[in-house]
Amino acid sequence: MQEVNRLTPFFENLNFEREDNTMVINFGPQHPSAHGQLRLILELDGEKVVKAYPDIGYLHRGIEKMAENMTYNEFLPTTDRLDYIASTSNNYAYALAVERLLGIEVPRRAKVIRTILLELNRVISHLFFIATHALDVGAMSVFLYAFREREFAMDLMEDYCGARLTHSAVRIGGVPLDLPDDFMINLREFCDNVDREVKITYNALLEDNRIWRMRLENVGVLSPEEALSWGCTGPMLRGSGIAYDIRKEEPYELYDELDFNIPVADTNDSYGRYRLYMAEILESTKILRQLIVMYDETEPQLMAHAPRYISAPKEEIMTQNYALMQHFVLVTQGMRPPKGEVYAPTESPKGELGFYIKSEGEPYAYRLKCRAPSFFHTGLLQELLVGTYLADVVTIIGSTNIVFGEVDR
């Protein structure tokens, strides 16, 4: 029995006398390093994790259910709320799935704008990762520097669509707006700044920082076989030495015309993954620079011409009777894609984001399944955390880069 006195704390529900005793602690759901609403039930032997059980569902909003009760265009803004760090990639993945179902081709300028937005989103998301991961591990200043650059990226998004987090900047069949006048000038400046910041500031703060390396190296080691088995995608898969990027392997939009590399890390640990994210930001700015040149060579058309499914441009609606009637039907009833099913994978900043849509020819999707990368990365935690120390739990959660809007949906 514990003796109660002022020097030794007394825990009424814990018994430390048995040697084989393990302690069960709750990590989250309100823990600042839980990246949202993750509740981890950890069984500890001393400071070593014996068993980890990720408990999710605290942010469940039934987005797949809502998809069955909304027309295709209505649902698009809802996809913003999946991975709210990079909403355009969700909008795009959904729009791509519907476009493949409809079998429509998007105009080239819309493709350029979409690719710009996707890559800008990747930069935003990766900067957010570096900021929060560093903050979790204890490097506070990196957080401030990375968030500064992220603010500029969000300003660019704001210039384009008016929103900073929930963009809804992509439509089924194209994009709603052309780029504002000085967007390209700002984008070029932003690319230069990000490159400089990543290469100089973050690198100097983290790359050879002794504490950073000690906290990250050989922590969260994930073998390639395990990564495949757990359905890891994106940086988690490439961090384990498997070079599979959907942008390269199954190209969509303009990625087959762009020149970029796929960084791969073969150390399998958190440090390798962190370096991967840094390298991916540089690749994204490289893509963005190429897109600035490509934009000038395109025709000004922004939405695909498919009168059965997509409203005509506003001028036509206002001047032509038939276009107005089509628009009225599409707004009140919604588009009716053909009967069939589609699974469209895209490379979101977190990994493979895919939408499976089953259409029965109705204006409502019969079934929509969102394949969220973070969901599978959360499942991985129950194995990745076992055998590590409590101090490394935060590092590992940080390096899986999970976002709970996407996990719980």
Partner 1 sequence: MRKYRPKDNVQAKAYHTDRFYVVPTVPKEDVSTDKLFSKHLETLKAKVDIQSAYIQIGQLRVEVNHKDNYKAIEILKNECGYEMLTEMSAVDYLAQEGKFEIFYQLLNLKERKRMRVVCKIEQGLAIESVVPLYKSANFAEREMFDMFGIKVNNHPLLKRILMPDDWEGHPLLKRYPLQGDEFAQWYEVDKIFGKEARDIIGPENRDPAKIDRYDTKRFSRVGREVPFGADISEGEPETPIEYSETFFVNYNAGTKQLDKRK
Q: Please, which of residues 82-101 interact with partner 1 by CB under 8 A?
A: 100-101
Q: Which is nearer to partner 1, 124 or 368 (CB)?
A: 368
- Does residue 386 touch partner 1 according to CB under 8 A? no
Closest by alpha carbon to 254, among 57, 61, 50, 112? 112
CB atoms within 10 A of CB 22: 14
Q: Please, which of residues 51-70 interact with partner 1 by CB under 8 A?
A: 56-57, 60, 62, 64-66, 68-70
Nearest distance in Å: CB 231, partner 1: 3
Helix locations, 162-252, DSSP H: 183-196, 210-216, 224-229, 235-238, 246-249
Determine if the peptide bond prior to 29 is cis (ω within 30°).
yes
400 contacts 377 by C-beta, under 8 angstroms: yes
Nearest distance in Å: CB 407, partner 1: 9
d(CA 384, CA 332): 49
Q: Which is nearer to partner 1, 93 or 127 (CB)?
A: 93
d(CA 139, CA 142): 6
Nearest distance in Å: CB 101, partner 1: 6
**Count of residues in contact with partner 1, rule CB under 8 A:** 54
Nearest distance in Å: CB 293, partner 1: 29
Q: Which is nearer to partner 1, 51 or 199 (CB)?
A: 51
d(CA 248, CA 106): 20
- Does residue 256 touch partner 1 according to CB under 8 A? no
Q: Which is nearer to partner 1, 176 or 363 (CB)?
A: 363
296, exposed or middle or buried, with CB in 10 Å at 0-12, 13-18, 19+?
Answer: exposed
Q: Could you tell me the strand order of the sheet in which 48-55 lies?
A: 23-27, 39-45, 48-55
Q: Please, which of residues 108-167 interact with partner 1 by CB under 8 A?
A: none
Nearest distance in Å: CB 375, partner 1: 6
- Does residue 207 touch partner 1 according to CB under 8 A? no
DSSP tag of 38 = -
Nearest distance in Å: CB 383, partner 1: 7
55, exposed or middle or buried, with CB in 10 Å at 0-12, 13-18, 19+?
Answer: middle
Judged by CB under 8 A, the residue of 188, 231, 262, 301 near partner 1 is: 231
Give the binding site for partner 1 (CB under 8 A).
56-57, 60, 62, 64-66, 68-70, 100-101, 103, 226, 228-231, 233, 242, 244, 249-250, 333-334, 336, 338-343, 345, 352, 354, 356, 358-364, 366-367, 369, 371, 375-376, 378-379, 383, 408-409
